[in-house]
Amino acid sequence: MIGPVDALTLLTFAPAALALNLTPGADMMFSLGQGLRGGPRAAVAAAAGITAGGMVHVTLAGLGLGALVSAHPGLFDAIRWIGVAYLLWLAVQALRSSALTRSTAPALSPLRAFRDGALVNLTNPKIILFTLAFIPQFVDPARGQVLAQFLIFGAMLGLGGMIVNSAVGLSASGLGRHLATSPRFARGLGIISAGIFTALALRLTLLHKA
């Protein structure tokens, strides 16, 4: 047993969490885009930011605040549109960077990649609704320490996501490093990154409260 969580429950949760982490989604696509833009350090930092944002969602769900988002469509929509605006801003930044030469283009620092990953995750209200639907299936209120149980399961889910998303971003960073030696390919990478962010924004606009 890990704290308030039974070992058998953890063994049941682990493969389900792994399957979710391996399913292509917005986090994976975001890590791919950051890896193309900023290289390996930015790719890992973006994955870490996504995980940090996910843990905030898990904490809110464990505290019961997620129900507030679920019950108030206006709040859900406000968060969603903030996320759309931020993703579109990232798309514009990717295009602007691609128009510069390699010597003048600003580097995508790991700190910025971490911040972007965390903000994109935090402004996707569907994630907290997913957290409310998925993790409680494994929480046992009879054991008490419900928040602690949420955090343990969230940490397992976040660790798996960190590994998978980092691997995707690192693979993309290798490709980006080779292609960026050509200004034409550098512009193409900027367009691809902008396309990824725009697609994620479009995906977020189509979300409806479950």
Enclosing domain of residue 115:
26-205
Q: Pick the residue with more confidence: 25 or 56? A: 56
Total-model pTM: 0.72
The reply to whether 159 falls in a domain is: yes
pLDDT tens digits, one per residue of 113-164? 999 999 988 888 778 777 877 888 788 877 778 888 889 999 999 999 999 9
Whole-number pLDDT of residue 19: 79
Residue 31 near residue 196, CB atoms below 8 Å: no
The reply to whether 148 falls in a domain is: yes
The reply to whether 74 falls in a domain is: yes
Q: Which two tokens stand for residue 48?
A: 């870490």
Q: Which residues sit opposite 2 in a β-bridge?
A: 5
The reply to whether 19 falls in a domain is: no
Confidence class of residue 178 from pLDDT cuts 50, 70 and 90? low
Confidence class of residue 80 from pLDDT cuts 50, 70 and 90? confident
- Count the Cβ atoms, other than its own, within 10 Å of residue 102: 10
Mean pLDDT of 88-109: 65
The reply to whether 1 falls in a domain is: no
The reply to whether 21 falls in a domain is: no
pLDDT tens digits, one per residue of 18-38? 877 887 777 888 888 888 878
Placement of tokens 């725009």 in the chain: 198
The reply to whether 195 falls in a domain is: yes
Both ends of the chain: CA-CA distance in Å?
33
Whole-number pLDDT of residue 156: 92
Confidence class of residue 104 from pLDDT cuts 50, 70 and 90? very low
Residue 3 near residue 152, CB atoms below 8 Å: yes
The reply to whether 14 falls in a domain is: no
Domain count, the chain: 1
Residue 43 near residue 169, CB atoms below 8 Å: yes
Q: Pick the residue with more confidence: 44 or 101? A: 44
Distance of alpha carbon 111 from alpha carbon 149, whole angstroms: 30
Q: Which two tokens stand for residue 116?
A: 């972007």
Can you state the percent helix, strand and coil of the chain, rounding each to 5? 80, 0, 20
Residue 63: closest CA among 157, 130, 159, 128: 128
